[in-house]
Amino acid sequence: MEAKALPLSHFRARAGSPLLLSAEASSAARKGSGAPGRSRTSRYDAGAPPSRAGRGGVWKRDDPEDSPRRTGMTGVPKLNPKFSTKRAGTSKVPIINFEVSHHRAVAAVRLLRADKGKAFVDLLNEKANDSGENEMGYVERTLGFSTRHLDDRDIRLVTVIVAGTVRWKRYIDYLIMSLCSEEKVFSNMEPLLLQILRIGFFEILKLNVPAYAVVDENVRLAKVALRPGAGNMVNAILRKLLLLKETDSLPLPNIEGDDRAQARALSIIYSHPVWMVRRWIRFLGKEEALKLMNWNNSDPYFSLRVNTTNGYTRDDLVNRLEDLQVHYEKSIMDEFVRIREGMQAVLQAGLLKEGMCAVQDESAGFVVSVVDPQPGETIMDCCAAPGGKTLFMASRLAGQGKVSALDINKGRLRILMEAAKCHNLDDIITDIHGDLRLYAKESTVKYDKVLLDAPCSGLGVLSKRADLRWNRQFEDLEELVCLQDELLDSASLLVKPGGVLIYSTCSIDHEENENRVTTFVQRHPEFTPQGVHGYVPAEFITDDGFYSSSPTKHSLDGAFAARLVRSMH
């Protein structure tokens, strides 16, 4: 299911998958970072002032156009031009520091931006969230210097570190606070220093990167980006952590007391918000809740759907994956294969750009099966972007019929139509920019089938949306439920007599799923729920006849779909 887990004002969906990182990969990335030998700092201008004592010696910049930095942040001497690179579209020469670990510097800045809600922890982009020059610009403005541009291995390391650190943030922060001399040391910690510590903790606890590399590189980054004292603090805290890990004496909260206290302890151990833990224990039971949190904390896989419209078969896709030495497994759905590693290779080989396949979870594929597009039908996709289900539905029409793709976000509609052209489906798909609630009131066009893949909490896709668990509050559910009801009412206006309305989400919460269908039918007796038997395998059908996939039961993203048939009168 495409993750329509959004800030409420935008229907934005992202999903992805970090890959396992080996100690050798980290070491190789560190060794390949510029000049050979211990020091990786390039030669300075002849006129540059002498470096201060210490490996992280730096000087304040004099350029009045440079953005202000926080107290304690430092710059580095300007490099000889032959060691500098100009940023595209500007004459400014960035100050590149080869002494720090490039991927850790970028990861620290990305984590800072994610904390402020200005970056998505997206694991699918070819060159990370803000690729190329933009990414380096953020680094320079934040740290006071730039790193060299990241190669493919560095990008993979940033992806793994950022996603994992965000995923385990609550647990990591508990440990950092436990190892600080006083609680106020943690609460008053500079944001950048905290991100550097989080990176170090994640590497030690979850990636098993060699201890010397973690301590050395993160201490150096803190000294250069902040000041020597910050590096000393990182050194002291990371060494405390290593000692506790070696003696198997890491502090953990006791799971005792009333339900609220136990949920609070579990939320730390499994790094989830307390409200989610309490809600899942209440509705799923403790054992199932723990399984779900373990799933959310695991490294997710990608599913690739072959584009049959361009004449490709799953065997064609499998052959390309074998050529790329990407391990795969075939899905229970004919058009899909799964990969756990190698997504960067798939992206860089151009399999998506050439229209051979699309990234789409099977749970989304089953939603399209519930829609059951048939040649000659007219279909409305009410909240279409990013367009995975739109493309899949259009391909099922076999060149006969139309899919109208409506979305409130014009930019994402443009991306959808670019993908449609790539998949040779642009003659089948028509984009409509607008708010469904307004469009439905004004439109006189009725459709055979209307899909409302509604904005939702995204609680079924937390394994792929590492940041989503921290961006959701319990109060959001109440707002989303109201929005879902409004959109359902509007979507129903577009259905022909005898037509079908399909309501779907990427949530596992009954309030957003079954309860929304029940209240909708009460408001609209002209619609009758129809079981999804025959459209999806029996293991995905609930007692009420709805489609539902469960991460813990089916090893798929959590998703829901219901068919509602409109009467002829």
Residues forming the annotated binding site for S-adenosyl-L-methionine?
A: 383-389, 407, 435, 453
Q: How many helices (H) and strands (E) does the chain have?
A: 22, 12
Which residues participate in the annotated binding site? 383-389, 407, 435, 453
| Distance, CA of 461 to CA of 14 (rounded, Å) | 9
The secondary structure of 140-183, three-state, reads: HHHHCCECCCCCHHHHHHHHHHHHHHHHCHHHHHHHHHHHCCCH
CA dihedral angle for residue 321, residue 326, residue 327, residue 332, rounded to 10 degrees: -40
Q: Which of 196, 250, 254, 242 shows the shortest CA–CA distance to 73?
A: 196
The pair of structure tokens assigned to 113 is 């931006």
Q: Is 33 helix (H, G, I), strand (E, B) or coil?
A: coil
Answer yes or no: 382 catalytic: no
Task: Tell me how crowded residue 354 is: count the other CB atoms within 10 A of its CB.
Answer: 13
CA dihedral angle for residue 99, residue 102, residue 107, residue 110, rounded to 10 degrees: 100
User: Biggest alpha carbon distance in the chain?
Assistant: 86
320 backbone dihedrals φ, ψ, rounded to 5°: -65, -40
As beta bridge partners, residue 527 has 566
| Distance, CA of 131 to CA of 150 (rounded, Å) | 10
Sign, CA dihedral 437-439-443-446, equals negative
Classify residue 182 by burial, with Cβ atoms within 10 Å: 0-12, 13-18, 19+.
exposed
Q: Which of 180, 357, 382, 506 is labelled catalytic?
A: 506
The DSSP 8-state label assigned to residue 379 in this structure reads E
What are the CA-CA distances from residue 491 to residues 67, 72, 280, 346, 452 (Å)?
A: 48, 55, 30, 37, 7
CB 535 within 8 A of CB 372: yes
The pair of structure tokens assigned to 421 is 């052209």
Give the residue carrying structure tokens 């996603």: 163
Classify residue 499 by burial, with Cβ atoms within 10 Å: 0-12, 13-18, 19+.
buried
Query: 299 Cβ partners below 8 Å, 6+ apart?
Result: 17, 18, 19, 20, 340
Q: What is the CA radius of gyration of the chain?
A: 26
CB 292 within 8 A of CB 192: no
The pair of structure tokens assigned to 452 is 């409302």
Sign, CA dihedral 440-366-308-399, equals negative
Q: Which of 455, 464, 392 shows the shortest CA–CA distance to 428?
A: 392
Residues identified as active-site = 506
